[in-house]
Structure 1
Amino acid sequence: MTFVPLNPIPLKDRTSMIFLQYGQIDVLDGAFVLIDKTGIRTHIPVGSVACIMLEPGTRVSHAAVRLASTVGTLLVWVGEAGVRVYSSGQPG
């Protein structure tokens, strides 16, 4: 089975941003996943989002940060409702 080489999605075609809170972000089977306190897994289309705002209560694994960097998604650690910006990383 051969795979088509993937190219990053241009920024103009991406969703601008999403807010995530109270969960653990990890990579499962190559996919960006938010796991909440009850164990429910929500897949996040990290390659089609320009910026992910991480609100309080969010834990991020190294693998998730590496995947976000690889696909060019900006991670920003913010206060509740994005009021304060605590940290951000440059994608790629």
Structure 2
Amino acid sequence: MSNTTIRRRYPDLVQEISARRTASADEAVREPSTQDTLIARNAKLRRRNRELTAALALATAQIQYVTLENARVRETLEAQEGVTQLSSRTRRRTGGEGCEA
């Protein structure tokens, strides 16, 4: 059936469908309510919070990895002969011994 035949035979249905389309177009154009705006903002903040929480967890894991890697490298260096820790060479000087003014 052609579009013209439908319009001619069922004008009530055509008018009802046309009214629905106009109503849905009006709803799409209207401004969002304050509640809709707050709901959208809240959803956006929740998404951002999840993203930041994931980024924090990743950063924490990376810091832990780097700390363990640093400890491993230090142990390897200390195990080699001829490597001295600076902290073991530091001595407290009393009474100005060895200091020149």
Which structure has the greater CA radius of gyration?
2
TM-score normalized by structure 2? 0.18
Higher relative contact order (CA 8 A, sep 6+): 1
Higher helix share: 2
Higher strand share: 1
TM-score normalized by structure 1? 0.19
